[in-house]
Amino acid sequence: MTNIVLVLADNLGWGELGCYGGGALRGAPTPRIDALAKQGLLLQNFNVESDCIPTRSALMTGRHPIRTGGVQSQPPGVPHGVTRWEVLLPQLLKAKGYATAMFGKWHLGDLQQRLPNARGFDEWYGIARTSHESRHTETPGFDASVATIPTVMQGKSGAPSEDVKVYDIKARRLIDSELIERSIGFLQRQAQTRQPFFLYVPLTHLHFPTLPHPDFAGRSGVGDFADSMIEMDHRVGLLLDELDRLDLSKDTLFIFASDNGPEFRLPDRGTAGYWEGTYHTAMEGGLRVPCILRWPGRIPAGAVSNEIVHVVDMFVTLASIAGAPIPEDRPIDGIDQTAFLCDPGSKSRREGFPFYIKQELRALKWRQWKLHLMWEREPNDGPIKLESPYLFDLLQDPKESRNVLVEQSWVMEPMQKMQQAFQQSLREHPPIAPGTPD
């Protein structure tokens, strides 16, 4: 059976890594991840949801978050993420005999019954919520009598998770080193067994505040953001080195991806490179993110593809690789892309998808075209509901600046059929409302 390691960066834009045109141009060479890309498949058209929670929901359920209610954050202790009715990827893999571990940012619920160790992971360590909360306790006026103190947590299956320490600015700087240290420990334990494993490592870099480990502070010479990029590349390299040292690489599918497009806030603003926009928008820079897959003997080295793949496809594809059955009692939006990944010169099994932000249908993507139903180039600029949609040919117009609706009006037919089919599915299978309790 194939081991699976999935590393998910936080707010890493399409244009940041060297293999995607950034790296040294951003003041932060990324040699380890660039080398990984040469060993496997680099996807140029890997698409995600609008921000942290919806992408994680889509990854773990294979369903667009408009279905699951996993569309936005809620205050601590309020139900958010996904309900226990959803079947998550680690549950499928665990049922097939996989050891499962998560070290990183969860962001799919902070109630005990929704934490990773209650949702299919044998063990976990990290944060239940998100990184900007590390500023809370050091913010002037913070009042612990009315606001929750953010913590780093840990837990094992069958027992409640527990707080380990306060998640403050010091902990923010250290946490990714701790995540990789624990991931390496898990790999070492698994190397002593014949049990296949699923290791999920949702890093905290490059989410704001983008602060490097003290060992990397000043490394780039151009500031905290680039220092953190260099650190992230180094941490990924440590995982790859350990897989090699333990002779596990040949039997392991290794995936590196990002959860959404780049941060838009200064001073931590990132870049989508070739594309326009950031997360929280329907621009290509919010949809497309880095994704690299290495599977020795199955995925050819040095492959590059611009075929459409969506994060919901990961759920079905990884379940298929593990031989796990997909739930049949609910709509699953993901598509098994195993054959395409193993033959990247072929066509993806996906032609398009709808794109929602929270509960609003913002855009549709199909083949080389993008149809905007609402327009918001920068977060908080709108959105403007369009009387007549904007249609862009992404191959000729990557910046989404020339509306070709009149010239290419035939494209509306297949795109509207895709929209109507999806919305009919929502009527037949009503979405779970955000905040629905278990």
User: Per residue in 295-353, pLDDT tens?
Assistant: 999 999 999 999 999 999 999 999 999 999 999 999 999 999 999 999 999 999 999 99
Is 434 part of a structural domain of the chain?
A: no
One domain for residues 295 and 401: no
Is 313 part of a structural domain of the chain?
A: yes
One domain for residues 245 and 379: no
pLDDT digits (tens, 9 = 90+) for 393-429: 999 999 999 999 999 999 999 999 999 999 999 999 9
One domain for residues 229 and 369: no
The one catalytic residue among 64, 107, 310, 372: 107
pLDDT digits (tens, 9 = 90+) for 197-213: 999 999 999 999 999 99
The residue among 342, 368, 384 that closes a domain is: 342
At residue 235, does pLDDT exceed 90? Answer: yes
pLDDT digits (tens, 9 = 90+) for 105-156: 999 999 999 999 999 999 999 999 999 999 999 999 999 999 999 999 999 9
Query: Residues 68, 59: contact at Cβ < 8 Å?
Result: no
One domain for residues 205 and 226: yes
The question of whether 107 is a catalytic residue gets the answer yes
Going 115 to 257 to 216 to 249, the CA torsion angle's sign is: positive
How far apart, in Å, are the Cα atoms of 257 and each of 159, 198, 376?
A: 30, 16, 25
One domain for residues 328 and 363: no
Is 275 part of a structural domain of the chain?
A: yes
Compute the distance between CA of residue 418 and CA of residue 231 in angstroms, rounded to an integer.
42
The residue among 310, 342, 374 that closes a domain is: 342
Instruction: Quote the number of domains for the chain.
Output: 2
CATH number, domain containing residue 112: 3.40.720.10
CATH number, domain containing residue 384: 3.30.1120.10
One domain for residues 179 and 84: yes
Is 40 part of a structural domain of the chain?
A: yes
At residue 79, does pLDDT exceed 90? Answer: no
At residue 88, does pLDDT exceed 90? Answer: yes
One domain for residues 161 and 119: yes
Domain of 402, in residue numbers? 352-428
One domain for residues 313 and 359: no
pLDDT for residue 71: 85
> What are the respective helix, strand and coil percentages of the chain, to the nearest 5?
30, 20, 45
